[in-house]
Amino acid sequence: MQSTAPISLATGRGSCFASDRITVDGKPVGFMYRDDGDNDLDSGWRFLAGDESDDYASDVANFELYDVNTIANYDPDIIRHLDAPIGSSYSRDPSSGKLVPD
- Provide the whole-model pTM: 0.93
Look at residue 4 and tell me if it is in a domain: no
Look at residue 5 and tell me if it is in a domain: no
Look at residue 97 and tell me if it is in a domain: no
Per-residue pLDDT of the chain (102 residues; tens, 9 = 90+): 445 778 999 999 999 999 999 999 999 999 999 999 999 999 999 999 999 999 999 999 999 999 999 999 999 999 999 999 999 999 999 999 999 999
Look at residue 99 and tell me if it is in a domain: no
Q: 20: domain range?
A: 15-91
Q: How many CB atoms lie within 10 A of CB 72?
A: 24
| Count of domains forming the chain | 1
How are beta strands 89-92 and 31-34 bridged, if at all? Answer: antiparallel
Look at residue 47 and tell me if it is in a domain: yes
Helix (H, G, I), strand (E, B) or coil at 45: strand
At residue 20's C-alpha, the angle toward residues 84 and 58, to 5°, is 85
Q: Tell me how far apart the alpha carbons of residues 77 and 56 are, in angstroms, rounded to a whole number.
A: 24
